[in-house]
């Protein structure tokens, strides 16, 4: 057999190079076995190895595993030179080093609808999985567990050919039975440290394999609970296929469950020969398990966990197309726990066990996932001498597993969010003897729990190796799963726990449909999945922050077992198609494979992923009817945003006696011309009865062609058509096709001169430039009238006659009225510093640390440019020919939003870091009130409100604040008092695509600010892999003179921003003499650090996503002399860029101080904003840049409506965002789709991301209705926040009654009525009708639902909004809206957020006797010996601008009997 046509094996390298000459374990793959006799196959392995080692004895000793059943190959201890020699033998296909993989760690079956006694369900129809043999490749099994009792089982099926391999503490008599039909174990090639303390047998040390196996096939076991404690998750445990048999293959060893790649391969080989019906592998790791294709080709379905490295995108594991890859979701069970403080205040949290003795409150970095911190902190807290832990995190639903560390040490732990933490802190500071009592955890199950949700840890797509294959495939329960561990039962979480749920369903389907292929079973599962939760709302994905799930979170959706039994249609695949894919994955694949891999979307998968849509792509699919013989299906399309989608035929009919299969085509055509993110859609075939066959779709546009201008000098003909024909001829000589040439041309210049504009690759442009008739070929540049772009993007066109800008006379005479201020002079600032534009300036240095004043101007002159940038964004006049550092990037005309407004400057922030003294800011606010300012703009991240702003608002001054740059973690928004406008940051429709050219002529696109390179720069540099590019990684790499690829996706899992890793990498490789940097991250639109990088790396710096990085790494490993070149960045502006998006750094709600006030209020452009800095212009990003955009709009509104109060101006801005009525709580981007919020991963934005949405200035001038507030209401709020007062308790508890243009109800228990009053500022006669979008899990009504204004009657109307909970447990916030519509021009929309609470579940403690009040089992001291700890990884300066921070060296240390904070660094 030709080795090229065989099934080929590829196990990815852990690192690209190995220099150690000592022996190590290698896997030698030889393709399909050439003999049926295993002994003959093994003998051939000996002969092959003997030819290299020279001795048959040495060859036999060297071999660890011989693969002889399903395929041919072996694992052997070899030196690198021996491995290279073997690889050259003709019968050898590949030789790869062994890799190691990580195991990924009962309510769930009822939750999925597989009711044990349901007569009509899949479980009953499949006879509970009777006699299906499930192969579990994992960490072994604990055979004595009650889940594997074989009582009542028939003899082992005769087809079983496996064995029961004995070993330590495991014999054949008691270890195997009619349930556990066989076991094997594989210790060869496993490091000694992993085998230490292990059972040298199939017995399970850590419990992972036992948990997995019992989830699949475990029999019914009554009266179990978590660790048999009797309370948590108590009930009956069972597997999904409780009558199925299990065959166990132990390949994972030690407490960390390290799994050897060679051992896994041996297990798969044995399992195929033993006679398993399916394989379940809850195993992850860096490589792909290509060998599983042999199993699938034999009709054995294979199921894998997708990995636990989420929520970062592009890191899903096990992505080959023939396996089922599973994401993890939550179930409808939670464990609420009540904390009672000494002031009788009670909060609900999550806990692992009952709490006793002292506790420590610990708040780690907000952006770090709990799974990366909690285990370590628990150990440190215990070591430091504390007796308990209250752990603060943004997510408390996915980290319960890590609390087991507390349980094992008999130390109590609970999890709380930031809002609860702030209230505990407030209580602690209010008394000298703070006390706390934590009640036992409770188990709550049922429809009151919002589920399913995709777990935060669940790895996300797209696949960086194979972006044309959509992964994961499906989601299943994987959080808090109770199953057997040893002789007990425990809750565990992970895609390891999700994988066996799908495996069990596969086993049941295998029983019902024994003739179905693995592809048909997979299709049935994926196409019948659900994308909505139990309340009929889109399934959410836990992330930073939470988001609506998309196919990269859960593939086809959440598994629906009972529906999978009768899918109607299936997408089947001939295994030979997989084989070609498999062959093409080899690095040394031949040229004809490249085009195949680019068309991988044509595989007949039950999903469609098009990662490179340039113009139009047609994808073909074939469906097979497995339902009624006669049926008609109609196509229902949901096209991804930014493209059109069509299906042909759109109706398919099956008739009795006709073909059971139909082929159709799906065509995608892009409507955007630049590199975009993935957008999602679906195709469903409906028969109008019971079948809905839905497949998910993910499409991304690309921009490998750029628009170039080809100048050919004077035209040589007077006839324009002849000139145009010459352009076609010139371009045809490069393209080779006249049709392609004509399609490429965008403009033909034929009247005054000769030339054309065409879409070209860089190489095509280079070739054209060499033609004799061509004078120049230059990339297109964009000259925008308003180069800050943000104002044009917001619709404030400078010359638009009907716009707000024109109506407001460009902000003429608004002072950002009557000026009473002064121009305070100082160093390098005299009276010439003020003029008719800058009408006043003051500076405040008192109270500012000396180190911050050092080097600064003791005057209003701006040292670091931050104040100049914000001021010019608000009120800067038109300046022509501005660009980023005069580089040509974003070139054009700059101006502020209110270009004719006046400026009064108050310098309160000092030094390069921008240190702002609260006292100084308060003095500035005080002076501004007296000076006569109309609008006050504060781009400051202060942390708490400056109290003087209330006085400013009471005097009629609108105050605007930045929301902070601590996103995307929830509960981080700042400046949250109700009288100010708090602004989130968003992107604009401008990007800077940059091409990196590789030595194999491949051109890939990223982003940069690389403006030093020229188009004709031909300087390629050597390319080298730097891994994470930290100090340790770079120590072993020579980077001198090279471009370095920094690519470490798992390290990025903990960060939403490339900072500070990008800066560390740039500095590190620059010290090593590198020339350029290609930095991989899931987010590539953070440019602030790129500028500094370009200064120290002359070949340029750019950012690419993980998929592009994987392709660069693949090229790098395919050649001995990899080279690359980074081209000049190109400015792209317009509706081809998906915008706006909420910036990842933008701080998110809810407010931890005042959850009854919805913050932020609105979003505005804040990413890469071009404005004045010193004598030039530059980009800056932050909510600091978003704040002045809203300030400028407020100034314009003040000019048009001078009688409006600050509350009315705020209301007009908030209530006029564009929105889509058919999409819940969403405002729309330039494509009419919900605005996205950048995070880990990206999500659809909600009110905690952007308040009411993206600001729409022109609409705010005529809002129709406004929500006004008497400043006295603010005053009462302000007074009540100063300290406890008798008349304030009920008031503060009902802050949602403030007449704000939003509603936030943080504590809905049963029913709440909220009152609002609107004031008509539109036509005298008007009728408005209420349009309601109720939050999920809540009933919402408005009374009256129609309000009418008539001439001469009151201009105000009051209405009430009633919310009634439909869920009875602690829920998350859900979102809705209330819109008053007049049917003409006005749509007055306010956002609504509601959270249910569970006070009904608080334990009754009134029976406690007084003499037990000092019992340490009930009352806990949080006094002087137990401190509050706050460890910070990321920060922002006093401006609210992004500041990289170092990771903490340590969290806690012990000093005598106390636990103290070491350092926040």
Q: How many angstroms separate the CA atoms of 87 and 64, rounded?
A: 18
Residue 639 to residues 668, 684, 1423, Cα–Cα distance (Å): 9, 11, 59
Q: Tell me which of 45, 69, 101, 208 is the catalytic residue.
A: 208
3 state DSSP class of 1204? coil
**Residue 696 φ/ψ, nearest 5 degrees:** -80, 155
In the annotation, is 45 catalytic? no
Note if the bond before 1140 is cis, omega within 30 degrees: yes
Peptide bond into 1241 cis (omega under 30): yes
Query: SS3 of 532, please?
Result: strand
The DSSP bridge pattern shows strands 389-392 and 413-416 to be parallel
From 343, 347, 335, select the one nearest 1152 (Cα to Cα): 347
CB 464 within 8 A of CB 1052: no
> For residues 753 and 275, what is the distance between their CA atoms, to the nearest angstrom?
77
What are the φ and ψ backbone dihedral angles of 333, each rounded to 5 degrees? -140, 140
* Torsion sign over Cα 757, 759, 761, 767: negative
In 3D, which of 1257, 1256, 1255, 1234 has the Cα closest to residue 1246? 1234
138 is known as an active-site residue: yes
- Residue 881: count other Cβ atoms within 10 Å of its Cβ: 12
Query: Are the beta carbons of 216 and 241 closer than 8 angstroms?
Result: yes
**CA-only gyration radius of the chain, Å:** 33
- Alpha-carbon span 1172 to 747, nearest angstrom: 35
Looking up tokens 């395929």, which residue turns up?
Answer: 71
**CA pair distance 124, 556, nearest whole angstrom:** 25
The one catalytic residue in 496, 1057, 1151, 1199 is: 496
Helices in 1013-1057 by DSSP H: which ranges?
1031-1034
Could you say which of 110, 131, 138, 1256 is catalytic?
138
Q: Are 538 and 531 contacting, i.e. CB atoms less than 8 angstroms apart?
A: yes
Report how far apart, in Å, the C-alpha atoms of 412 and of each of 359, 404, 937, 1420 are.
Answer: 8, 10, 47, 12
* Beta carbons of 1453 and 1419 less than 8 angstroms apart: no
Distance in angstroms between the alpha carbons of the first and the last residue of the chain: 62
Q: Is 89 exposed, middle or buried (0-12, 13-18, 19+ CB in 10 A)?
A: middle
C-alpha span between 683 and 608 (Å, rounded) = 9
Asked whether the beta carbons of 1290 and 1273 are under 8 A apart, the reply is: no
Alpha carbon separation from 1216 to 879, 1322, 1344, 1379, 1381 (Å, rounded):
30, 13, 22, 10, 11
Cβ–Cβ under 8 Å, residues 479 and 328? yes
How many residues are listed for the chain in this entry?
1465
Q: Which of 1248, 1211, 1210, 1241 is nearest to 1374 (CA)?
A: 1248
Q: Please, what's the b/e burial string for 362-398 (b: 16 or more CB within 10 A of its CB; e: otherwise)?
A: bbbbbbbbbbebbbebbebbbebbbbbbbbbbbbbbb
Q: Which residues on adjacent β-strands are paired with residue 905?
A: 841
**Is beta strand 1176-1180 parallel, antiparallel or unpaired with respect to 1169-1173?**
antiparallel
Half-sphere exposure of 431 (CA within 13 A, CB side): 14
Asked if 459 and 472 count as a contact pair (C-beta separation under 8 A), the reply is yes
| Residues acting as catalytic residues | 138, 208, 496
């Amino acid at each position: 057999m030709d080795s090229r046509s065989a099934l080929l094996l590829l196990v990815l390298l852990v690192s690209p190079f190995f220099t150690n000459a000592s022996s190590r374990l290698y896997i030698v793959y030889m393709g399909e076995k050439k003999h049926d006799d295993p002994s003959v196959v093994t003998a051939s392995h000996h002969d092959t190895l003997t030819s290299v080692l020279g001795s048959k004895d040495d060859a036999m000793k060297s071999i660890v595993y011989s693969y002889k059943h399903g395929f041919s190959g072996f694992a052997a201890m070899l030196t690198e030179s021996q491995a290279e020699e073997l690889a050259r033998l003709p019968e050898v296909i590949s030789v790869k080093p062994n890799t190691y993989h990580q195991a990924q760690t009962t309510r769930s079956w009822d939750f999925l609808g597989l009711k044990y006694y349901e007569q009509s369900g899949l479980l009953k129809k499949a006879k509970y999985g009777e006699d299906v043999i499930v192969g579990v490749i994992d960490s072994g099994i604990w055979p004595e567990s009650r889940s594997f009792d074989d009582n009542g089982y028939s003899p082992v099926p005769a087809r079983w050919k496996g064995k029961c391999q004995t070993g330590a503490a495991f014999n054949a008599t008691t270890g195997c039975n009619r349930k556990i039909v066989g076991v094997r174990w594989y210790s060869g090639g496993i490091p000694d440290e992993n085998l230490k303390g292990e059972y040298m047998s199939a017995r399970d040390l850590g419990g992972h394999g036992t948990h997995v196996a019992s989830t699949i096939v475990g029999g019914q076991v009554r009266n179990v609970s978590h660790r048999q404690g009797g309370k948590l998750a108590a009930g009956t445990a069972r597997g999904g296929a409780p009558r199925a048999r299990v065959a166990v293959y132990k390949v994972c060893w030690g407490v960390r469950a390290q799994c050897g790649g060679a051992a896994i391969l041996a297990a798969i080989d044995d399992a195929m020969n033993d006679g398993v019906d399916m394989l379940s592998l809850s195993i992850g790791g860096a490589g792909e398990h290509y060998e599983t294709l042999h199993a699938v080709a034999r009709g054995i379905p294979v199921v894998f966990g997708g990995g636990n490295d989420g929520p970062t995108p592009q890191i899903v594991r096990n992505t080959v197309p023939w396996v089922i890859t599973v994401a993890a979701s939550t179930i409808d069970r939670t464990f609420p726990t009540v904390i009672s403080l000494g002031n009788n205040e009670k909060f609900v949290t999550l806990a692992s066990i009952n709490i006793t003795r002292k506790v420590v409150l610990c708040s780690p970095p907000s952006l770090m996932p709990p799974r990366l911190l909690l285990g370590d902190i628990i150990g440190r807290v215990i070591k430091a001498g504390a007796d308990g832990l209250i752990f603060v995190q943004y997510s408390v639903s996915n980290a319960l597993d890590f609390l087991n560390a507390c349980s094992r040490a008999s130390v109590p732990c609970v999890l709380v969010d930031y809002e609860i933490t702030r209230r505990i802190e407030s209580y602690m500071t209010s008394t000298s003897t703070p006390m706390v009592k934590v009640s036992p955890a409770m188990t709550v199950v049922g429809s009151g729990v919002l589920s399913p949700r995709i777990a935060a840890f669940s790895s996300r797509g797209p696949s960086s190796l194979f972006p044309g294959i959509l992964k994961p495939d499906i989601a299943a329960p994987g959080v808090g799963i109770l199953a057997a561990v040893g002789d007990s039962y425990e809750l565990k979480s992970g895609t390891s726990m999700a994988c066996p749920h799908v495996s069990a369903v596969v086993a049941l389907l295998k029983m019902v449909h024994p003739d179905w292929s693995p592809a048909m079973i997979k299709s049935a599962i994926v196409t019948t999945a659900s994308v909505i939760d139990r309340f009929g709302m889109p399934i959410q994905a836990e992330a930073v922050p939470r988001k609506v799930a998309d196919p990269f979170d859960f593939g086809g959706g959440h598994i629906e077992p009972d529906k999978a039994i009768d899918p109607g249609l299936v997408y089947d695949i001939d295994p030979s198609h997989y084989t070609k894919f498999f062959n093409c994955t080899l690095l040394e694949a031949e040229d004809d494979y490249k085009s195949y891999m680019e068309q991988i979307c044509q595989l007949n998968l039950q999903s469609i992923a098009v990662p490179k849509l340039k113009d139009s792509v047609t994808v073909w699919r074939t469906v097979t009817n497995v339902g009624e013989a006669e049926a008609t299906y109609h196509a229902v399309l949901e096209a991804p945003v930014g493209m059109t989608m069509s299906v042909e035929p759109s109706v398919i009919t099956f008739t009795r006696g006709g073909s059971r299969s139909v082929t159709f085509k799906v065509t995608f055509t892009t409507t955007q011309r630049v590199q975009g993110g993935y957008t999602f859609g679906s195709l469903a075939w409906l028969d109008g009865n019971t079948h809905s066959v839905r497949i998910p779709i993910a499409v991304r546009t690309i921009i490998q062609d750029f628009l170039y201008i080809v100048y050919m000098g004077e035209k040589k003909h007077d006839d324009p058509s002849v000139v145009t024909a010459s352009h076609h001829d010139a371009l045809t000589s490069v393209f080779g096709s006249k049709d392609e040439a004509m399609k490429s041309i965008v403009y033909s210049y034929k009247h005054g001169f000769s030339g054309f504009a065409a879409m070209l690759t860089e190489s095509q442009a280079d070739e054209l430039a060499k033609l004799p008739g061509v004078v120049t070929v230059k990339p297109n540049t964009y000259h925008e009238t308003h180069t800050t772009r943000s104002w044009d993007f917001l619709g404030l066109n400078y010359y638009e006659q009907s716009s707000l800008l024109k109506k407001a006379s460009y902000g003429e005479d608004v002072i950002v009225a009557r000026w009473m201020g002064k121009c305070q002079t100082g160093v390098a600032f005299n009276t010439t510093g003020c003029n008719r534009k800058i009408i006043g300036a003051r500076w405040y240095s008192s109270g500012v640390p000396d180190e911050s004043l050092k080097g600064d101007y003791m005057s209003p002159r701006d040292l670091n440019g931050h104040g100049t940038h914000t001021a010019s964004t608000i009120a800067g006049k038109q300046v022509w020919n501005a660009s980023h550092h005069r580089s040509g990037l974003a070139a054009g005309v700059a101006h502020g939003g209110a270009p004719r407004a006046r400026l009064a400057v108050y310098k309160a922030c000092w030094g390069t870091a921008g240190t702002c003294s609260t006292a100084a800011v308060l003095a500035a606010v005080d002076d501004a009130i007296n000076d006569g300012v109309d609008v006050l703009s504060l781009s400051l991240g202060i942390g708490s409100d400056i109290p003087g702003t209330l006085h400013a608002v009471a005097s009629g001054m609108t105050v605007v604040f930045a929301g902070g740059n601590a996103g995307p973690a929830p509960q981080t928004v700042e400046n949250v008092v109700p009288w100010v406008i708090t602004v989130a940051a968003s992107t604009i429709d401008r990007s800077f695509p940059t091409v990196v050219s590789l030595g194999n002529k491949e051109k890939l696109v990223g982003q940069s600010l690389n403006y030093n390179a020229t188009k004709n720069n031909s300087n390629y540099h050597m390319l080298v892999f730097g891994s994470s590019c930290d100090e340790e990684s770079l120590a072993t790499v020579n980077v001198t003179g090279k471009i370095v690829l920094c690519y470490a996706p798992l390290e990025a899992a903990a960060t939403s921003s490339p900072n500070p890793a990008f800066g560390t990498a740039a500095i590190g490789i620059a010290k090593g003499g590198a020339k350029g940097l290609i930095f991989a991250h899931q987010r590539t639109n953070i440019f602030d650090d790129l500028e500094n990088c370009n200064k120290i790396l002359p070949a340029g710096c750019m950012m690419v996503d993980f998929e592009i990085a994987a392709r660069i790494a693949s090229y790098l490993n395919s050649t001995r002399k990899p080279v690359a070149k980074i081209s000049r960045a190109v400015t792209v502006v317009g509706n081809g860029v998906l915008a706006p998006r909420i910036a990842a750094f933008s701080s998110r709600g809810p407010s931890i101080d005042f959850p009854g006030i919805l913050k932020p209020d609105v979003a505005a452009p804040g990413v890469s904003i071009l404005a004045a800095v010193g004598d030039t212009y530059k980009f800056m990003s932050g909510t600091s840049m978003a704040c002045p955009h809203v300030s400028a709009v407020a100034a314009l509104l003040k000019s048009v409506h001078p009688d409006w109060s600050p509350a009315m101006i705020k209301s007009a801005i908030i209530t006029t965002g564009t929105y889509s009525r058919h999409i819940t709580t969403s405002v729309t981007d330039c494509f009419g789709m919900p605005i996205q919020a950048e995070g880990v991963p990206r999500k659809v934005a909600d009110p905690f991301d952007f308040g009411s949405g993206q600001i729409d200035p022109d609409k705010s001038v005529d809002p129709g209705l406004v929500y006004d507030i008497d400043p006295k209401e603010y005053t009462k709020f302000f007074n009540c926040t100063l300290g406890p007062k008798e008349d304030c308790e009920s008031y503060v508890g009902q802050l949602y009654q403030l007449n704000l243009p939003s509603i936030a109800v943080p504590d809905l228990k049963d029913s709440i009525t909220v009152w609002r009053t609107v004031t008509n500022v539109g036509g005298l006669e008007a009728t408005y009708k209420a349009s309601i979008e109720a939050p999920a899990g809540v009933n919402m009504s408005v009374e009256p639902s129609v309000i009418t204004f008539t001439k001469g009657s009151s201009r105000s109307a009051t209405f009430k909004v009633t919310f009634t909970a439909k869920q009875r447990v602690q829920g998350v916030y859900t979102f809705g809206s209330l819109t008053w519509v007049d049917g003409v021009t006005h749509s007055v929309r306010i956002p609504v957020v509601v959270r249910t609470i569970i006070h009904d579940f608080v334990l009754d403690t009134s029976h406690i006797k007084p003499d037990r009040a000092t019992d340490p089992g009930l009352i806990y001291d949080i006094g002087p010996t137990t401190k509050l700890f706050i460890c910070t990884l990321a920060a922002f300066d006093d401006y609210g601008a992004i500041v990289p921070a170092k990771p903490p060296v340590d969290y806690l240390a012990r000093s005598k009997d106390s636990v103290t904070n070491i350092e926040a660094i």
